[in-house]
Amino acid sequence: MNTIIPEGYRSLLNTYDTQKAIGLLKRLFEDQLAANLNLFRVSAPLFVEERTGLNDNLNGYERPVSFDIPNIGRDAQVVQSLAKWKRMALHEYNFYPGKGLYTDMNAIRRDEDVLDNLHSVYVDQWDWEKVIETKDRNLDYLKGTVMDIAAAVSETQRTLRAIYPQLQQLPELSSAVTFVTTQELEDRWPDKTPKERENAFLQEHPTAFLIGIGGALKSGRSHDGRSPDYDDWTMNGDLLYWDDLLGCAFELSSMGIRVDPQTLDRQLAIAGCDDRRELTYHKMLLNGELPQTIGGGIGQSRLSMLLLGKAHIGEVQSSVWDAETLETCRKAGIQLL
């Protein structure tokens, strides 16, 4: 495990106030996000059928939690994200361009390769998706949406700081987003790893959006993995903040303009995932039956950590941890939920 406790760390809020603040934070941010992006709340599944192709394959190696349902004679999978389900839902609900949805997504990622201050096998996020027109499939539209999300984060922080004065000790998050491509990061720091590049850039620009994740860079390697069947790898990215407490770049959201039929066809071939073409979702998308959309996920526990000044994700969510992490946090006086 890789748990790091910052020297002299003490939670700014006790356990009970933390729980209350998390509830308030989520209500505030949901309302602000929905207003900024014209989103409407919907209910979402905890599991889907494998044959639909709706589950997120993430980087391709993560195994979804599967189980059988004897009464219907089929298998189901706990969702890993709702990236594809949301687009199907917009089609089913017949949403018009400019209108979108958001929902609470709870997932299990049992093959999370690192469990540390920021990563857990339990994932909770706001998944959102919005119908756009073909003319909106461009970087300017993407950037405008990113700035709307950053504005919602900043507004939520301002309200929390007014209600909990202790939080005024934390740095004020900037809503001014610096945009940079992953290729620009590789060009500037070719000898650094992608995470090292993120850390170096975020130290200079504490609110940033990295454009272009999933496709190969000039080096032949991608900045990070991204499934080929939801984001357009040329018009997607990650929203990151610099976390003074942990001294690292802090990914809050992954999002992007979604694939159209031509982009899906190309990315499936590049990723060697042509077998997915026979799944229900992929057939509909390749046939042009699904709307053009933009969407993403925003980590609920991640946002809680950032706005409440927490050192470990287990302080804002209830999960399962190894003995070493539990002991490290106990010795540091950190209450895991």
Round to whole Å and give the CA distance between 106 and 85: 13
Could you give the dihedral angle defined by the CA atoms of residues 200, 203, 204 and 205, in that order, rounded to the nearest 10 degrees?
A: 110
Asked if residues 128 and 295 have their Cβ atoms less than 8 Å apart, the reply is yes
Residues tagged active-site:
56, 109, 125, 238, 251, 254
Q: Compute the chain's Rg from CA coordinates.
A: 20
Cite the DSSP H helix spans in the chain.
15-37, 83-93, 139-163, 182-188, 194-204, 261-271, 280-286, 300-308, 323-331
Q: Which amino acid is at 137?
A: R
Residue 333: closest CA among 306, 311, 318: 311
The phi, psi pair for 231, rounded to 5°, reads -80, 145
